[in-house]
Amino acid sequence: VLISLIGGRIVPSFTRNWLVKQRADALPAPFGRLDTAALAATVLAMAGTVILPNSTAVGALLCLAGVLLAARLIRWRGAATLREPILFILHLGYGWLALALVLMGLAVLNPAIPQLAAIHALTAGAIGTMTLAVMTRASLGHTGRAIIADRAVVSIYVLVTAGAALRVAALFAGDWYREALVGGGTLWSAAFLLFAARFAPVLFLRRAG
């Protein structure tokens, strides 16, 4: 819920600011009825997972919430930020949240869909990606440095994304389950280790300028 709320504020805001600087014609859509519906569906769906976790209605609501979040994300012009990794990663993190909700709903509606896939999409995907996206951006901006992703930062994003994808895919990998799960965890952990190595000097040394 917090990612849907806070992410729903910072992702379109940062995107709008960047696109304005690029003199882009199309900007992220302003907050509207779709956004309200997406947030309401998300809150109700998450509450439903606590009250009636195995309810078909809750499963359908989770799927609806995920689809609405995805529709909301599409309106934020994420594709236009592909050449700005430190911005695009925010869109990717929000996309993980939409996927996680859909997988949660499908797991309720269809026992063949493993619930763990949804959990990995939410934790390793949405939470992990958004955490690193915000930490890298804030670490640079709050220390007076240019908010630009260098090779190390891009590598962090690639590692966390690949790690999360493998964790989710592991549930559908059959005999390769263990290898995919361990591989995903290794890549995901490496992303945070690389963050620590890359940003320790930034956070502990004197502010730039």
Q: Please report where in the chains the tokens 């260098």 appear, as a residue.
A: 150
Read off the amino acid at residue 206. Answer: R
Read off the amino acid at residue 208. Answer: A
- Report how far residue 37's alpha carbon sits from residue 62's, in angstroms, rounded to the nearest whole number: 13
What's the whole-model pTM score?
A: 0.94
- Report how far residue 52's alpha carbon sits from residue 190's, in angstroms, rounded to the nearest whole number: 37
- Report how far residue 50's alpha carbon sits from residue 25's, in angstroms, rounded to the nearest whole number: 43
Structural domain boundaries of the chain? 2-204
> What's residue 56's pLDDT?
95
Residue-wise pLDDT tens for the chain (209 aa)? Answer: 789 989 999 999 999 999 999 998 899 999 999 999 999 999 999 999 999 988 999 999 999 999 999 999 999 999 999 999 999 999 999 999 999 999 999 999 999 999 999 999 999 999 999 999 999 999 999 888 999 999 999 999 999 999 999 999 999 999 999 999 999 999 999 999 999 999 999 888 777 66
Smallest Cα–Cα separation from 128: which of 104, 99, 163, 102? 163
> What's residue 204's pLDDT?
86
> What's residue 206's pLDDT?
74
- Report how far residue 105's alpha carbon sits from residue 57's, in angstroms, rounded to the nearest whole number: 9
At residue 79, φ and ψ (nearest 5 deg) are -60, -30
- Cβ atoms of 29 and 74 within 8 Å: the answer is no
HSE-CB at 187 with a 13 A cutoff on CA atoms is 20
- Is the Cα torsion angle 116, 122, 125, 127 positive or negative in sign? negative
- Report how far residue 171's alpha carbon sits from residue 54's, in angstroms, rounded to the nearest whole number: 20
Enter the CATH code of domain 2-204: 1.20.210.10
How many C-beta atoms surround the C-beta of residue 153 within 10 A? 23
